[in-house]
Amino acid sequence: MTEQKPNIVCLKDYRAPDYLIDDVELTFELAPRDTRVTSRLHVRRNGDHGNPLRLDGDELRLESVAIDGAALAGDRYSIDADGMTIESVPESFVLEIVNRVDPIDNTALDGLYQSSGNFCTQCEPEGFRRITYFPDRPDVLSRYRVTLVADRVTCPVLLSNGNPIEQKDLGDGRHQATWEDPHPKPSYLFALVAGKLEAIHDEFTTRSGRKVDLGIYVEPHNIDRCDHAMRSLIKSMRWDEETYGREYDLDVFNIVAVDDFNMGAMENKGLNVFNSKFILARAETATDQDYDGIESVVAHEYFHNWSGNRVTCRDWFQLSLKEGFTVFRDQEFSADMGSPAVKRIEEVNLLRQVQFAEDAGPQAHPVQPKEYQEINNFYTATVYNKGAEVVRMWHNLLGWDRFRQATDRYFERFDGQAVTIEDFIDTMAEQADFDTAQFRRWYDRAGTPVVRVNKERDGEQVQVVLEQEIPAVAGQEDSDPFLMPLRIAAFDGEGRQLPLDASGSTEETLILNDSRTTFAFPVAADVDRVVLSLNRGFTAPVKIQHAYDAGDLTLLARCDTDEFNRWDAYQRLVLKTLVGRIREAEEVGEWPETALPEGLSEAFGSVLHAANNGTDARFVAECLALPSEPYIAEQFERDVPVDAIHRARVELRAQLGNEWSQSLMLTYKNQAVEGSYAFDGADVGRRALRAQCLSYLNALDHPAWRRLAVEQIAETDNMTERFNALQALCVRESVERDEALEGFAKQWADDPLVMDKWLSLQARIVQPDDKDTLSRLEAHPAFSIRNPNRVRSLVGTFSRANPVAFHAASGSGYRWVADKIIEVDGFNPQISARMATVFSRWRRYDGARADLMKEQMTRMLDRPDCSTDLAEIVGKALA
Ligand code: B3K
Ligand code: ZN
């Protein structure tokens, strides 16, 4: 066990910086080993005090320190493990520091490192201190002038933030380029890239007439995979002007794609650095899902230019200020680019599966956390996705016009400043006619509220009672109610939408702000049945409990005019069937022989047939997708029946496939896409629906359906259909499956992003205790433990999407994953800590499994060199 006491950073301890730095001049003499960094900081005292100057620094080799040109003797400053202190300094001065770093040894991918031999940086949140000594906190904003010096042959491209100022040859085989960023920014937005890269270029003229040169830089062999990202960038720039009135503010905007990257992408000012997964796409190698991901991540990083860069965070407790808001912005952008209902379904799926789970476990924290040990552990679904839901509620409560007035004011008032969530709330509150103090609870209180809804019919009136229940989590035990908008409607037994008031309006947004809220509406005496449609469009990020019977859900799945709720009703129906079977098996002690419930079967058929009657095929595909095993597991508070969940799901797929095989086959044929691949809404929908049909059919042990998949692989021109068919074949064991997997590996051996798909498909199907397959995959040339994308594809998918093997009763799954985490922790703590969250909710599993999980967590923690990142995650889980 690490004996060191964790260093806890608390929001309440925030103090303004003692010194500000107006201008930064950096010179990098780049080399894989011994990169020399010369930093000239124009420092100014902030306020009246005699405090020393403290600079953060991590793993730096100091060469010299000088103030106003005079070198400092060793006794004028001190160096410790976290930085440098200079005891007495003038009121304002120029501090020159020279230090060295070794990018080639930087395996944590944080700070200045190399990817495929090219230099790149990642500084958010605390990576800049791994480059040079600096007050590495977001409330110190400076103008940067950066000069890069490097070998002309190995580094023909030299990029940094802002606008290019000059480039020259140094005559000794090296060249240099200088970049200047006129917009003051915190150090976390600094970036440089140098290497052998090629670019595609385009341009965008802002509505006030600024011509912006756009560039996407990639390794030369990827140059034919950048067009979709460029189109996405241009669409994002236009959308932010049209929707939020936000214009771009530099002469250039560059994006660089790198293969080794800890997360999705980074919004460095004017120089976004991306995980290549979120840039590279062409029809033969990327799926529709990849195309979607690229569009939304490119948009997300671009939108940060205002929500994050121009207006930034005072400290890291304010992270959701930029992330929640920017996620909401990118969600709305994607909704506008495609199908709003499908987009909303995807968002809620993620929220329910990842954020609700996080919010119910040992890592639960509010949207604005109050303390942390390692800030990198707080880039979470709560900060990002629940944060976005909270912004969405502002938007729903204020309405678009007032919300937009508030965002205009926010950007204008705080432009160039580092601000707080409180500042955002205050600006929204100026437009609000409700109790914003109560609304603030969404930022302060962890846990997912439950809203229990009861309905009573009293003659010609329906009385709806809504009660809030606030779970005790993470030491927060109060049960004060939240303020939330909840959109509702009602239907009669024929599926006709009922008026909710005398004016005839058929939808109401209730504002719940008490533990108990009632709402009544009149119904005609001859209406014999009333079915409520609750939390339409998922207006509030809560769990709704209401005693729906199968008939209610079937009716809503067919008739609800809110598409999101139509999907939700169908999913609830499926979930009800699955959970019912699992519980029955538990009760009787053996697996029940159960026929397919008629209501569910009919609902399935009517959803499937809706695609032939003009319903968006993509929406239909979303409905037909069975709830994932982890989401089914969420329905069980303890002793999660891992194996029964798997079995029930497999069995239901086969029953539905069997019952509807003819219609599935017909739909599969009808939805075939004519012509060559295009990333176009209608075609994407058709492919998604065909994928579902093929998966249901392949749940049956019949060569004809396997042949269909094999033919699809052979005949298609694109990765979406190839991958979907392979995935369908993976629904059960077969010779065809094994041959297809082998053929795929041969064909795409040289394409790491495609091989990630292959790794994850197999991680998903590897059987419990099959150590040989895991060893074979690990040893495969497509895998590398050093690359985060590979690790996520193999280890991440195994631990999150293959519960039967991860939770194998022998403990072999836990052990294998823990081995990988320990190995990764030796060189990349951000990734090991993230991987370890899969163990966090060990208490929900039966005693034997819980003990085995605990044992592995103790093993991870009980190492003298356990990183602080991993120690925080595992320590909290075990506490
Ligand atoms: N802001 C970055 C995330 C940085 C994560 C550092 N561990 C990407 C984004 O949310 O846009
Ligand atoms: Zn972001």
Give a yes or no: residue 734 inside a domain: no
Separation between Cα atoms, residue 344 and residue 21, nearest integer Å: 43
Does residue 602 have a pLDDT over 90? yes
415, 476: one domain: no
| Number of residues that this document lists for the chain | 879
What is the Å distance from ligand 2's center to 871 Cα? 25
What is the Å distance from ligand 2's center to 381 Cα? 12
Atom of ligand 1 nearest to the CA of 323: 10
Other Cβ atoms within 10 Å of 50 Cβ, number: 9
Question: Where are any strands of DSSP class E within 766-829?
Answer: none
User: Residues 301, 323, 347, 721: which is the catalytic one?
Assistant: 301
Provide the CB-side half-sphere exposure for 552 (13 A, CA). 16
Three-class secondary structure of residue 99 per DSSP = strand
Give a yes or no: residue 321 inside a domain: yes
Give the pLDDT confidence score for residue 592 in this predicted structure.
Answer: 87
What is the Å distance from ligand 2's center to 266 Cα? 7
In the structure, what pLDDT confidence band is assigned to residue 474 with cuts at 50, 70 and 90? confident
Partners of residue 408 on adjacent β-strands: none
Test site for ligand 1: of 269, 274, 331, 379, most ligand atoms within 8 A of the Cβ: 379
Averaged pLDDT for residues 508-526: 97
* Domain CATH for 475: 2.60.40.1840
Give the pLDDT confidence score for residue 454 in this predicted structure.
Answer: 98
Which ligand has the nearest atom to the CA of 125?
1
Rounded to the nearest integer, the mean pLDDT of the chain is: 97
Give the pLDDT confidence score for residue 777 in this predicted structure.
Answer: 98
Give a yes or no: residue 536 inside a domain: no
Give a yes or no: residue 285 inside a domain: no
Give a yes or no: residue 605 inside a domain: no
188, 80: one domain: yes
Averaged pLDDT for residues 313-325: 99
The closest residue, in CA terms, to atom 2 on ligand 1 is 266
What is the Å distance from ligand 1's center to 123 Cα? 9
Q: Point out the domain boundary residue: 196, 221, 249.
A: 196
Other Cβ atoms within 10 Å of 505 Cβ, number: 11
Test site for ligand 1: of 120, 124, 296, 831, most ligand atoms within 8 A of the Cβ: 124
Give the pLDDT confidence score for residue 286 in this predicted structure.
Answer: 98
Does residue 639 have a pLDDT over 60? yes
CB of 573 within 8 A of CB of 557? yes
Averaged pLDDT for residues 544-551: 97
Q: How far is CA 573 from CA 15, 495, 545, 691, 715, in A?
A: 52, 17, 14, 22, 36
Bridge pairing between strands 312-313 and 271-275: unpaired
* Domain CATH for 359: 1.10.390.10
Give a yes or no: residue 112 inside a domain: yes
439, 476: one domain: no
* Enclosing H/E stretch for 273: strand 271-275
The closest residue, in CA terms, to atom 7 on ligand 1 is 376
423, 466: one domain: no
What is the Å distance from ligand 1's center to 416 Cα? 20
Q: Point out the domain boundary residue: 444, 473, 506.
A: 444
Task: Name the percent of the chain lying above pLDDT 90.
Answer: 98
The closest residue, in CA terms, to atom 3 on ligand 1 is 266
Residue at 857: amino acid letter: M
348, 372: one domain: yes
Instruction: State both tokens at 39.
Output: 């930093």
In tens, the pLDDT along 814-864 reads 999 999 999 999 999 999 999 999 999 999 999 999 999 999 999 999 999
Separation between Cα atoms, residue 339 and residue 312, nearest integer Å: 31
Question: Where are any strands of DSSP class E within 326-400?
Answer: 371-372
What is the Å distance from ligand 1's center to 265 Cα? 7
What is the Å distance from ligand 2's center to 137 Cα? 17
Question: Exposed/middle/buried for 90, CB within 10 Å: 0-12, 13-18, 19+?
Answer: exposed
In the structure, what pLDDT confidence band is assigned to residue 647 with cuts at 50, 70 and 90? very high
Separation between Cα atoms, residue 714 and residue 229, nearest integer Å: 28
What is the DSSP annotation of 112-147?
EEEETTEEEEE-TTTTGGGTS-B--STT--EEEEEE
Test site for ligand 1: of 113, 187, 263, 372, most ligand atoms within 8 A of the Cβ: 263
Other Cβ atoms within 10 Å of 330 Cβ, number: 24
The closest residue, in CA terms, to atom 1 on ligand 1 is 266
Does residue 561 have a pLDDT over 50? yes
440, 458: one domain: no
What is the Å distance from ligand 2's center to 520 Cα? 42
Separation between Cα atoms, residue 356 and residue 540, nearest integer Å: 13
In tens, the pLDDT along 330-352 reads 999 999 999 999 999 999 999 99
Task: List, in order, residues 6 or more apart from 668 with CB less than 8 Å away.
Answer: 690, 693, 694, 697, 708
What is the Å distance from ligand 2's center to 864 Cα? 34
Atom of ligand 1 nearest to the CA of 265: 8
Three-class secondary structure of residue 567 per DSSP = helix
* Domain CATH for 8: 2.60.40.1730
Three-class secondary structure of residue 96 per DSSP = strand
CB of 689 within 8 A of CB of 611? yes
Separation between Cα atoms, residue 233 and residue 230, nearest integer Å: 5
The closest residue, in CA terms, to atom 10 on ligand 1 is 323
Separation between Cα atoms, residue 747 and residue 658, nearest integer Å: 33
* Domain CATH for 767: 1.25.50.10
In the block, tokens 């403990």 appear at 811
Find the largest Cα–Cα distance for the chain.
Answer: 93
In tens, the pLDDT along 360-391 reads 999 999 999 999 999 999 999 999 999 999 99
CB of 232 within 8 A of CB of 299? yes
Instruction: State both tokens at 617.
Output: 């095929």
Separation between Cα atoms, residue 438 and residue 452, nearest integer Å: 20
Give the pLDDT confidence score for residue 388 in this predicted structure.
Answer: 99
CB of 603 within 8 A of CB of 573? yes
Give a yes or no: residue 405 inside a domain: yes
Which ligand has the nearest atom to the CA of 307?
2
Which ligand has the nearest atom to the CA of 263?
1
- Does the N-terminal peptide bond of residue 138 adopt cis geometry, omega within 30 degrees of 0? no
Q: Which residues of 103-119 are buried (b: 16+ CB within 10 A; e: fewer)?
A: beebebbbbbbbbeebb
438, 506: one domain: no
Task: Name the percent of the chain lying above pLDDT 70.
Answer: 99
In tens, the pLDDT along 60-73 reads 999 999 999 999 99
184, 97: one domain: yes
Atom of ligand 1 nearest to the CA of 301: 11
Atom of ligand 1 nearest to the CA of 264: 8
Atom of ligand 1 nearest to the CA of 375: 7
Question: Where are any strands of DSSP class E within 378-537?
Answer: 418-419, 450-458, 461-469, 484-492, 508-512, 516-522, 530-533
330, 466: one domain: no
Q: Point out the domain boundary residue: 417, 444, 471.
A: 444
Give a yes or no: residue 139 inside a domain: yes
Separation between Cα atoms, residue 317 and residue 369, nearest integer Å: 6
Q: How many domains does the chain have?
A: 4
Averaged pLDDT for residues 494-503: 96
CB of 411 within 8 A of CB of 310? yes
100, 186: one domain: yes
Does residue 544 have a pLDDT over 80? yes
The closest residue, in CA terms, to atom 6 on ligand 1 is 124
839, 808: one domain: yes
Separation between Cα atoms, residue 762 and residue 740, nearest integer Å: 12
Give the pLDDT confidence score for residue 2 in this predicted structure.
Answer: 43
Q: How far is CA 300 from CA 322, 325, 556, 568, in A?
A: 11, 10, 34, 27
Question: Backbone dihedral region of 755: left (phi > 0), alpha (psi from -120 to 50 degrees) or beta?
Answer: alpha
Q: Tell me which residues have their CB closer than 6 angstroms to ligand 1.
A: 124-125, 263, 265-267, 300-301, 304, 323, 376, 379, 830
The closest residue, in CA terms, to atom 9 on ligand 1 is 266
In the structure, what pLDDT confidence band is assigned to residue 235 with cuts at 50, 70 and 90? very high
Atom of ligand 1 nearest to the CA of 267: 11
What is the Å distance from ligand 1's center to 443 Cα? 20
Test site for ligand 1: of 126, 136, 266, most ligand atoms within 8 A of the Cβ: 266
Separation between Cα atoms, residue 756 and residue 113, nearest integer Å: 23
508 is catalytic: no
459, 425: one domain: no
What is the Å distance from ligand 1's center to 262 Cα? 9
Does residue 5 have a pLDDT over 80? no
Domain extent for 103: 1-196
CB of 285 within 8 A of CB of 753? yes
The closest residue, in CA terms, to atom 4 on ligand 1 is 124
Does residue 4 have a pLDDT over 70? no
CB of 745 within 8 A of CB of 732? no
End-to-end CA distance of the chain: 13
Three-class secondary structure of residue 604 per DSSP = helix
In tens, the pLDDT along 137-175 reads 999 999 999 999 999 999 999 999 999 999 999 999 999
Bridge pairing between strands 543-546 and 450-458: parallel
Which ligand has the nearest atom to the CA of 111?
1
Instruction: State both tokens at 613.
Output: 């009657």
Give the pLDDT confidence score for residue 595 in this predicted structure.
Answer: 93
CB of 556 within 8 A of CB of 533? yes
Three-class secondary structure of residue 101 per DSSP = strand
What is the Å distance from ligand 1's center to 326 Cα? 11
Question: 495-509, 585-599, 722-736, 853-867: which has the minimum mean pLDDT?
Answer: 585-599
Provide the CB-side half-sphere exposure for 418 (13 A, CA). 22
Instruction: State both tokens at 707.
Output: 């042949």
Averaged pLDDT for residues 757-777: 98
